Amino acid sequence: MADVTSVQVTAPSRLHFGLSSFGHAAVPQYGGVGLMLQEPQVRLRITESSGTEWEFYGPGAARAELFAKRWVVSSGNLVRRGCRIVVQQSPPPHAGLGSGTQLALSVAAGLNHFFCCEQPSPCDLARSVGRADRSTVGTFGFVHGGLIWETGKDESHKDARLNGRWSLLEDWRVVLIRAVHRPGISGDAERQAFRQLPPVPPEVTRALLSEVSTRMVPAVEAGDFDKFSESVYAYGKQAGECFATIQGGPYAGENLARVIETLRGWGIRGVGQSSWGPTVFALVPNSQSVGTLMERFRTDLVDCVEEVMVSQVNNVGASVDVECLT
């Protein structure tokens, strides 16, 4: 195989609409549903270094180095040449957009291509860099893009299974709103939170799964924006209630709850909190609907919103572009 000289990886962001289960051994754990977005992106480039050393540059370089070290240990690869990993772009960490997982998977996928390794399954790819202990929405989304519904894990399966993925209409847009709030929970704090949370009642899990199977998925398949939006809101609110003992309600604090309530009051049906926040999202049917919404943010929510941006749905997953010696 020709020597690879460079690898460029571009990965989407992830919205997480909520988990359908945790805390009950009788049902798969941490199953959930979410959506991949074009922006903000993780972008990194891997090239050969001048010697045998590994070099890391750019925003998130320290995290990229950690993931690369995990990959080396996991792969058992006898690395005989150095490489340079430049993180060109990375969303802010702990914002509810899955940036840590997307950076980790980008490093792993890039190194697999750079060193001409066999391409693993999505879950094995995540495992090689220490990700996907709980939700695998972002893991499957990295590979496939679109709307992701994953089953979670149970005692008979070490990996979560992809229940399905669907492409959304390309006209649909997602407005991302970062509310004034502390960063979302992650790492040790997240593990402690799950130890403290009461299990999701079985009837709630059944209701959440029914919401996805009988309303959300059929709406996507029919291209019905209004029904999809209402289902996303209903699912996210009920899933968020399972975290009320940590968050104080279905959303993480008064600012996030106010943004969501205000958007619903404006007639925006598909709104919710992504993961632990502080990102709130709003679904709009096309780019023409964005302008008026952005203007209202500047006048009605300026005191509780730090940043607003617009993204398209990513229906294809990450891209990996490889250059070789000719």
DSSP class per residue in 15-76: EEEEES--S-TTS-BS-EEEEEEEEEEEEEEEEE-SSS--EEESTTHHHHHHHHHHHHHHHT
Pairwise CA distance, residues 148 & 313, whole Å: 12
pLDDT surpassing 90 at residue 133: no
pLDDT digits over 77-116, tens only? Answer: 666 788 999 999 998 888 999 999 999 999 999 999 999 8
Give the residue among 319, 257, 268, 274 at the shortest CA–CA distance from 19. 274
Q: Which tens digits make up the pLDDT trace of 278-311? A: 999 999 999 988 888 888 887 788 777 778 899 9
Instruction: Provide φ and ψ at 91, rounded to 5°.
Output: -60, 160
pLDDT at 178 over 90: no
The whole-number pLDDT of residue 158 equals 72
Q: How confident is the model at residue 184 (pLDDT cuts 50, 70, 90)?
A: low
The two most distant CA atoms of the chain are separated, in Å, by 60
In the chain, what are the domains? 4-324 (3.30.230.10)
Rg (alpha carbons) of the chain, rounded to whole number: 20
β-pairing, 32-48 vs 4-19, is antiparallel
Two structure tokens written together for 168: 């959304």
97, 91 in Cβ contact below 8 A?
A: yes
